[in-house]
């Protein structure tokens, strides 16, 4: 119902409103004194309120990093939980400033939705989880199986593609939210549940018997997850993109939450530019020059947020894999600040 309401809202706004307000997101955010961030809400490790109501997760920390850069306060974020169905509408209609909700960057989304993707924060791929009792060891054995899937995701499309290209048939059971899909899988309505493999590890922990379930080795798709902003506000897109780049650069340069104050005194030019001790990179973003210092001081570098939320410091224990730095065989490659 929330989806219908949001869709109706955008229809009304588009029909009656005007588009002028959308081109000055930074000013809007500063005037409001708060960043409004579209997040998942139910995905452990990426975006979910903890038992005390504090939002935690990898995507959540990304929004906190933006808030730190703008306000010098990572707490000045309001998180709006979104479903795959209403996330783009919420962004298009201006309900949120940035969408950080494990969203795959695809061409059609980039070109037809009026949104832009800023930077790939997490390289993911779709996988399958099955009940161990089925004694299945490969996704290729899933011919004729029932698969629970969440609606409105690239997952839903990849699933049909994968079975088709391997000449297998399947029975899809589609649910509006991941919660319902996982519950149905847990109760035995489906043989398998499919989503991005990062999500599988998180959802597995919420099953009635996590150990009775197995994540299959196949990764059947490319899912570059990226935060998105409205098209046509380049300044804002720059801020979101460089928030990510600064976090990766910091990891590359060995700057982290604990040593960032010492690093201010470093003589290495890369570090001095990153932390704003040299040149005016922050001002060219419309922020202060210590923007990246604030991000690292208050949230941490890329590796720290990764390990804390989804890596070894978390129950998910996802390996860095493709998300390791390029210097360590991964794909995370911080663009140069200069």
Partner 1 sequence: MLDIVQPAPLSRRQWGNLALQAALVVVVVGLAYAAYVNAAENLAKAHIASGFRFWNNTAGFDISQTLINYSPSTSTFGQAFWVGLLNTLLVASLGIVLATVLGFAIGIARLSRNWLVAHLAGGYVELIRNIPLLLQILFWYNAVLKALPDLRSSLSLPGGTLLNNRGLFLPRPQFGERFGFVLAAFVAGVIATIVLYIWAHRRQDLTGEPPRTLSYALALIVALPLVVFFLAGAPLRFSFPEMGRFNVLGGIEILPEFAALLLALAIYTAAFIAEVVRAGVLAVPHGQTEAAQALGLRSGSTLRLVVIPQAMRVIVPPLTSQYLNLIKNSSLAVAIGYPDLVQVFAGSVLNITGQAVEVIAMTMAVYLFISLVTSLLMNLYGRAVRVVER
What residues make contact with partner 1 under the rule CB under 8 A? 3-4, 7-8, 10-11, 14-19, 22, 84-85, 88-89, 92, 108-109, 112-114, 134, 142-146, 151-153, 156-157, 159-161, 164, 170-176, 180-181, 183-184, 187-189, 191, 230-232
Residue with Cβ nearer partner 1 (157 or 277): 157
Residue with Cβ nearer partner 1 (156 or 218): 156
Least Cβ distance, residue 140 to partner 1 (angstroms): 13
Residue with Cβ nearer partner 1 (18 or 267): 18
Residue with Cβ nearer partner 1 (109 or 204): 109
Helix (H) or strand (E) holding 240: helix 234-252
Least Cβ distance, residue 81 to partner 1 (angstroms): 16
Residue with Cβ nearer partner 1 (89 or 195): 89
Least Cβ distance, residue 308 to partner 1 (angstroms): 31
Rounding to the nearest 10 degrees, give the CA dihedral for residues 67, 69, 73, 75: 20
Least Cβ distance, residue 3 to partner 1 (angstroms): 7
Residue with Cβ nearer partner 1 (156 or 290): 156
Least Cβ distance, residue 8 to partner 1 (angstroms): 6
Residue with Cβ nearer partner 1 (108 or 267): 108
CA triple 17-22-26, angle to 5 deg:
145
Q: Is 26 exposed, middle or buried (0-12, 13-18, 19+ CB in 10 A)?
A: middle
Place of tokens 């939002």: 55
Residue with Cβ nearer partner 1 (132 or 171): 171
Residue 207 and residue 120 in contact, taking contact as beta carbons nearer than 8 Å: no
DSSP 167-195: T---EEEEESSHHHHHHHHHTTS-SEEEE
Strand partners, 228: 99, 117
Least Cβ distance, residue 93 to partner 1 (angstroms): 9
Non-local (6+) Cβ contacts of 171 within 8 A are 144, 145, 146, 147
Largest CA distance in the chain: 63
Structure-token pair, residue 239: 């801020």
Least Cβ distance, residue 112 to partner 1 (angstroms): 4
DSSP 3-50: HHHHHHHHHHHHHHS-SGGGG-HHHHHHHHTSEEEEE-SSBTTTBEE-
Structure-token pair, residue 328: 């360590």
Residue with Cβ nearer partner 1 (48 or 159): 159
Non-local (6+) Cβ contacts of 17 within 8 A are none
Least Cβ distance, residue 218 to partner 1 (angstroms): 17
Strand partners, 175: 150
Non-local (6+) Cβ contacts of 185 within 8 A are 129, 148, 192, 193, 207
Least Cβ distance, residue 138 to partner 1 (angstroms): 13
Distance of CA 48 to the CA centre of its chain: 12
């Amino acid at each position: 119902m929330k989806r219908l309401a949001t869709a109706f809202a955008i229809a009304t706004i588009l029909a009656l409103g005007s588009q002028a307000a959308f081109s000055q997101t930074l000013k809007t955010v500063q005037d409001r004194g708060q960043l409004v961030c579209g997040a998942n809400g139910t995905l452990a490790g990426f975006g979910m309120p903890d038992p005390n109501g504090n939002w935690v997760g990898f995507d959540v920390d990304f929004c906190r990093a933006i808030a730190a850069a703008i306000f010098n306060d990572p707490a000045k974020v309001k998180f709006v939980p979104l479903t795959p169905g209403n996330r783009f509408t919420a962004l298009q209609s201006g309900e949120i400033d940035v969408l950080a909700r494990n969203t795959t960057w695809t061409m059609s989304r980039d070109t037809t939705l009026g949104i832009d993707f800023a930077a790939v924060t997490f390289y993911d791929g779709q996988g399958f989880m099955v009940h161990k009792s089925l004694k299945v060891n490969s996704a290729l054995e899933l011919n004729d199986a029932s698969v629970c899937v969440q609606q409105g995701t690239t997952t839903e499309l990849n699933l049909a593609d994968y079975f088709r290209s391997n000449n297998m048939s399947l029975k899809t059971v589609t649910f509006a939210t991941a919660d319902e899909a996982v519950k149905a899988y847990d109760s035995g309505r489906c043989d398998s549940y499919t989503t991005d493999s990062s999500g599988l590890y998180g959802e597995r922990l919420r099953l009635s018997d996590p150990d009775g379930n197995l994540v299959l080795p196949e990764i059947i798709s490319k899912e570059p997850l990226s935060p998105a902003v409205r098209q046509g506000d380049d300044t804002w897109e720059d801020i979101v993109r460089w928030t990510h780049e600064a976090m990766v650069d910091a990891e590359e340069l060995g700057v982290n939450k604990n040593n960032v104050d010492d690093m201010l005194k470093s003589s290495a030019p890369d570090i001095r530019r990153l932390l704003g001790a040299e040149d005016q990179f922050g001002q060219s973003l419309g922020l202060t020059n210590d923007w990246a210092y604030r991000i690292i001081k208050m949230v941490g570098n890329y590796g720290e947020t990764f390990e804390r939320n989804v890596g070894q410091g978390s129950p998910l224990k996802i390996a860095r894999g493709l998300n390791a730095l390029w210097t360590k065989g991964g794909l995370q490659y911080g663009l140069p600040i200069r």
